């Protein structure tokens, strides 16, 4: 299978260092394409599709995977002939965790060469601005409100030093800001809250099953809505996750649908439209639509 691997040659951390140490062995079965700036991986992925690569591998975290995914999607009909692979080198690697892709580089490479192909639903969020609609594909989940504000506030130099704990610092900062009220609707039912997750997979931020009934190939998106992003709600939600009892937590609401409309209403004059993150990367603000293409994305897994 004609394979290319897209990676960031300046990425820091032990996983990235080990990856660079194995460049010669990787080059024995794949073409290596280094990215040089944010957004470059997307352009490289589109180029790889045009060059006839059958397997395009994102070597990095969930953000790199999202860039490569959108690059493939930039080419019409590409998903009918191109497979997506993952070498998890990021801080959390939520998609790899859910797919069972090993974090050990040698084992992950073996999975790429001898793994099986699965078909999963491909979600898309369309940001709605006057006179323009901007689409963004994602694999795992999209977050609206509190967590997206935290992603927006992450100090990237701090993240290089302390890893995932930089998100905790940013989440604490986000709690001190006025958050808008978000409404999500499937056309028949509407839910409102300050923290909304739309999941294609179950996991969020690691092995936290915030969308516990989500399935890759059922043609539905699962929505989890927390009415208020307060300390009490966060503590109760964390305890419920640890006990696998999120669905019985009072106040948390769920919705499953193939398409969604999301809007926001600032609660104070200082609040801005609700921010949005996709696969852990800040992506824009509401209003937006979410939909999916059933069993469209071809993934290589162990």
**Distance in angstroms (rounded) separating the CA atoms of residues 267 and 282:** 22
Catalytic residue list: 281
**Distance in angstroms (rounded) separating the CA atoms of residues 208 and 241:** 7
In 130-180, DSSP assigns E strands to 132-137, 141-145
**Distance in angstroms (rounded) separating the CA atoms of residues 199 and 245:** 18
Percent of the chain as helix, strand, coil, to the nearest 5: 30, 35, 35
Cα 122 off chain centre by: 12
C-beta separation of 61 from 154 below 8 A: no
Contacts of residue 200, Cβ cutoff 8 Å, sequence gap at least 6: 120, 121, 123, 138, 139, 140, 141, 214, 216, 221, 292
C-beta separation of 268 from 68 below 8 A: no
- What are phi and psi for residue 10, nearest 5 degrees? -100, 5
Question: Quick one: CA dihedral 3, 8, 13, 17, positive or negative?
Answer: positive
Q: Indicate the SS3 state at residue 164.
A: coil
């Amino acid at each position: 299978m004609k394979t290319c691997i897209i990676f960031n040659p300046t990425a820091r951390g032990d996983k990235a260092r080990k990856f660079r140490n194995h460049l010669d062995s990787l080059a024995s079965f794949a073409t290596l394409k280094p990215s040089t700036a944010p957004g470059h991986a997307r352009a490289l992925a589109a180029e790889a599709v045009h060059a006839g690569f059958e397997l395009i591998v994102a070597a990095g975290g969930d953000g790199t995977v999202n860039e490569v995914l959108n690059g493939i999607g930039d080419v019409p009909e590409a998903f009918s002939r191109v497979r997506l692979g993952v070498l998890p080198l990021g801080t959390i690697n939520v998609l790899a965790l859910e797919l069972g892709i090993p974090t050990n580089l040698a084992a992950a490479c073996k999975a790429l060469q001898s793994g099986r192909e699965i078909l999963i639903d491909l979600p898309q969020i369309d940001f709605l601005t006057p006179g323009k609609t901007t689409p963004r594909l994602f694999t795992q989940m999209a977050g609206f409100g509190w967590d997206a504000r935290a992603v927006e506030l992450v100090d990237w130099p701090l993240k290089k030093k302390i890893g995932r704990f930089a998100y905790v610092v940013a989440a604490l900062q986000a709690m001190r800001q006025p958050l808008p009220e978000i409404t999500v609707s499937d056309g028949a039912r509407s839910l409102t809250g300050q923290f909304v997750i739309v999941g294609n997979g179950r996991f969020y931020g690691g092995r936290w099953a915030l969308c516990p009934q989500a399935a890759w190939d059922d043609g539905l998106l699962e929505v989890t809505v927390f009415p208020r992003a307060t300390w009490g709600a966060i503590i109760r939600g964390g305890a419920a996750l640890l006990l696998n009892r999120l669905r019985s937590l009072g106040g948390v609401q769920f919705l499953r649908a193939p398409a969604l409309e999301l809007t926001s209403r600032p609660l104070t004059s200082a609040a801005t439209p609700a921010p949005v993150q996709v696969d852990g990367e800040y992506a824009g603000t509401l209003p937006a639509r979410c939909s999916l293409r059933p069993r469209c994305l071809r993934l290589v897994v162990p």
